[in-house]
Amino acid sequence: MDSLNEKFQQLCLQFTKDGNLINDLWIEIDKKYTGKGRYYHNLEHLNNMFSELEAVKNQISDFNSLSFSIFYHDVIYDASSKSNEEKSSDFAQVRLQKLAIDTHSIEKVCNQILATKAHQKSNDHDTNYLLDTDLAVLGYGSHIYSAYTQNIRKEYSIYPDFLYKLGRKKVLQHFLAAESIFKTDYFKEKYEKQARENIRMEINLL
């Protein structure tokens, strides 16, 4: 995942020349996303989000803030916790303050991370791109989607099948009930149809 490391280094160098600080922050991110039990919410997920953004990069108004949001949005991830997003937001705030990033940008990043909790359409266009890249896997081919569902199940291995299936079905039905899963026209056109097919298929298998 060297490309992610390089992305993070280049991003941080716009705000500080302290190489040791940047390196420490990256090691921290790397350690979190490669921790035990990270079968889906890992560095590959971050890499995929950045890859998805390439096609719409010119539509992003503040790519630096959005990039920090990607790096930190799942930095705290505990399958038994309902406050991962809040903890990730707080975690990011402390680190971005170390980089001497302005208060407005830090607030923007924190709000974007918090938005990944409910995945509701935002008035902020950049936030909608973050949400859509976060869920892009829902619209991938059935083989990749199947692997994704297996990795999610592994992350929730502390729960017995009957509890997991109840909770998972509730999440999936919530997506289907939405007017559209994806918030931006680009991702809606690219993945909405396949995402709904995948989700219906998974519900039938639960």
The per-residue pLDDT for range 105-114, each reduced to its tens digit, is 999 999 999 9
Contact residues for 130 (Cβ-Cβ < 8 A; gap 6+): 49, 66, 69, 70, 73, 112, 115, 116
CA atoms within 13 A on the CB side of 66: 24
The domain spans of the chain are 2-205
- Which bin fits 42, alpha (ψ -120 to 50), beta or left (φ > 0)? beta
2-205 is classed CATH 1.10.1300.10: yes
User: What pLDDT score was predicted for residue 2?
Assistant: 60
Mean pLDDT of the chain: 97
Judge whether residue 131 has pLDDT over 60: yes
The per-residue pLDDT for range 46-57, each reduced to its tens digit, is 999 999 999 999
Nearest-angstrom CA–CA distance, 145 and 112: 25
Entry pTM: 0.97
Percent of the chain at pLDDT > 70 equals 99
Q: DSSP string of 80-123?
A: T-S-HHHHHHHHHHHHHHHTT--HHHHHHHHHHHHHHHH----S
